[in-house]
Amino acid sequence: MRHQLRDAGLEGYVEVSSAGTGDWHIGETADPRTVAALGRHGYDGSTHRAKQFVAEMFDDNDLIVAMDANNVATLRLLAPAGREGDVRLLRSFDPDADGEDVPDPYYSGAQGFDEALAMVETSCRGLVRWVRDEISHAS
């Protein structure tokens, strides 16, 4: 998302961060297969460290994007009253998505990680368009 925002000239308008809904990987690096898939596509995932999303993060974020429906449900439970709609599925920004979730590639081979990344990239292009529209409507 950061790369696409930069390429669209929008990086100064949006802050991007990443957090999971569980606490089991806090402080750990990304799965080596994720880092390898990112590297094959020109991204550096080596500095990523896992953190957990907590309800207070709604105070600093206008939009919360989740990879799958289970995470959306968890995040909406954490949302303050009236903010549940600020949690969206990433693939909802891809008009050609053939499913709602980005499948977890954990139990697949390298191809699964590449496929998940392709879904994320495509969805992020749609999200960048959405951000651009939101910024232009706010101006």
Domain assignment present for 118: yes
Backbone angles phi, psi at 101, to 5 degrees: -95, 150
- Count up the domains in the chain and report the number: 1
Domain assignment present for 139: no
Domain assignment present for 66: yes
User: On the CB side of 127, how many CA atoms lie within 13 Å of its CA?
Assistant: 22
Domain assignment present for 77: yes
pLDDT per residue as tens digits for the range 36-89: 999 999 999 999 999 999 999 999 999 999 999 999 999 999 999 999 999 999
Domain assignment present for 124: yes
Type of residue at 43: Y
Identify the pLDDT of residue 99. Answer: 83
Name beta bridge partners: 89.
Answer: 66
**Residue 53 CB neighbour total at 10 angstroms:** 21
Tokens representing 116?
A: 């998940």
The answer to whether the pTM exceeds 0.85 is yes
pLDDT per residue as tens digits for the range 104-119: 999 999 999 999 999 9
The contacts found for 21-27 with CB under 8 angstroms, 24 or more apart, are 21/52, 21/53, 21/66, 21/71, 21/74, 21/75, 22/52, 23/52, 25/50, 26/50, 26/51, 26/52, 27/51
- pLDDT-based confidence at 139, cuts 50/70/90? confident
Domain at 115, CATH number:
3.40.50.2300
Host domain of residue 105: 2-134
